Amino acid sequence: MVLKICCIGAGYVGGPTCSVIALKCPDIKVVVTDKSESRIQAWNSDRLPVYEPGLDEVVKQCRGRNLFFTTDVDTAIKEADLIFISVNTPTKTFGFGKGRAADLRYIEAAGRRIAEVAKSSKIVVEKSTVPVRAAESINNILKANTKPGVSFQVLSNPEFLAEGSAINDLLHPDRILIGGEQTEEGREAVQKLCCIYKHWIPEEKILTMNTWSSELTKLAANAFLAQRISAINSISAICEATGADITEVAHGIGTDSRIGPKFLTASVGFGGSCFQKDVLNIVYLSECLNLPAVAAFWHQVIEMNNFQRTRFARRITEKLFNTVAGKNIAVFGFAFKKDTGDTRESPAIYICKHLLEEGANLHVYDPKVPEQQIRIDLTYSEGIEDCFKVDQQVTVCTDPYSAAVNTHAIVLCTEWDEFLGLDYKKIYDSMFKPAFLFDGRKMLSIENLQKIGFHVETIGVKTSRIQNRNVADA
Ligand code: UDX
Ligand code: ADP
| pLDDT tens-digit map of 447-468 | 999 999 999 999 999 976 556 5
Q: How far apart are the first and last CA of the chain?
A: 70
Atom of ligand 1 nearest to the CA of 129: 7
| Least confident segment among 104-113, 306-315, 379-388 | 379-388
In this prediction, residue 386 carries a pLDDT of 64
| pLDDT over threshold 70, residue 235 | yes
Question: pLDDT tens, 363-404?
Answer: 999 999 999 999 999 997 655 556 788 989 999 999 999 999
Query: Of the ranges 236-250, 371-385, 439-453, which one carries the lowest mean pLDDT score?
Result: 371-385
Could you report the per-residue pLDDT of 312-347, keeping only the tens digit for each? 999 999 999 999 999 999 999 999 999 999 999 999
pLDDT at 468: 56
Q: What percent of the chain has pLDDT over 70?
A: 96
Q: What is the number of the ligand closest to the CA of 233?
A: 1
Mean pLDDT over residues 107-130, rounded? 93
Q: Which contacts qualify for 317-325: CB closer than 8 Å, 24 or more apart? A: 317/354, 317/355, 317/358, 319/436, 319/438, 319/455, 319/457, 319/463, 320/408, 320/409, 320/436, 323/358, 323/359, 324/355, 324/358, 324/359, 324/360, 324/408, 325/358, 325/359, 325/360
Using one digit for the tens of pLDDT, what is the confidence trace for 21-73? Answer: 999 999 999 999 999 999 999 999 999 999 999 999 999 999 999 999 999 99
162 lines ligand 1 (CB under 6 A): yes
Residues enclosing ligand 2, CB less than 6 A?
8-14, 33-36, 39, 73, 86-88, 106, 109-110, 113, 128, 273
Of 229, 234, 262, the residue with max ligand 1 atoms within 8 A of its CB, to mutate for a pocket test, comes to: 229
Asked if residue 439 has its Cβ within 6 Å of ligand 1, the reply is no
More confident residue, 267 or 131: 267
Average pLDDT over residues 89-107: 87
How far is ligand 2, taken at its centre, from the CA of residue 127, in Å? 11
Q: How high is the pLDDT of residue 366?
A: 98
pTM here?
A: 0.94
Mean pLDDT score of the chain, rounded to an integer? Answer: 94
Average pLDDT over residues 193-222: 97
Lowest mean pLDDT among 251-255, 381-385, 432-436: 381-385
Q: Is 194 a residue of the active site?
A: no
User: Distance, CA 102 to ligand 2 centroid (Å)?
Assistant: 14
Closest atom of ligand 1 relative to the 278 alpha carbon: 9
Q: Read off the pLDDT of each residue in 262-281 and give the average, rounded to a whole number.
A: 96
Measured in Å, residue 278 CA sits from the centre of ligand 1 at 12
Residue 263 Cα: closest atom of ligand 1:
33
- Over 50: is that where the pLDDT of 186 sits? yes
Q: How confident is the model at residue 474 (pLDDT cuts 50, 70, 90)?
A: very low
At residue 219, the pLDDT reads: 95
Residue 136's pLDDT band, with cuts at 50, 70 and 90, is confident
Active-site position among 7, 274, 352, 397: 274
CA–centroid distance, residue 270 to ligand 1 (Å) = 7
Give the pLDDT of residue 17: 98
Q: Which of ligand 1's atoms lies nearest the C-alpha of 336?
A: 23
Which of 12, 165, 277, 337 has the most ligand 1 atoms within 8 A of CB, as the residue to mutate?
Answer: 337
Question: Which numbered ligand comes closest to the C-alpha of 14?
Answer: 2
Q: How much of the chain, in percent, has pLDDT values that exceed 90?
A: 87
d(CA 137, CA 155): 12
User: Within 10 Å of residue 401's Cβ, how many Cβ atoms?
Assistant: 15
> Ligand 1: distance of its center to the CA of 264 in Å?
11
Q: Which atom of ligand 1 is nearest to the CA of 345?
A: 23
Strands of 152-156's sheet, edge to edge?
67-70, 29-33, 4-8, 82-85, 122-126, 152-156, 176-180, 206-210
**Ligand 1 in reach of 350 Cβ (< 6 A):** no
- The best mutation among 6, 31, 33, 34 to test binding of ligand 2, ranked by most ligand atoms within 8 Å of the C-beta, falls on 34
What residues have CB less than 8 Å from 165, skipping those under 6 apart? Answer: 53, 339
Pick 35 or 98 by higher pLDDT.
35
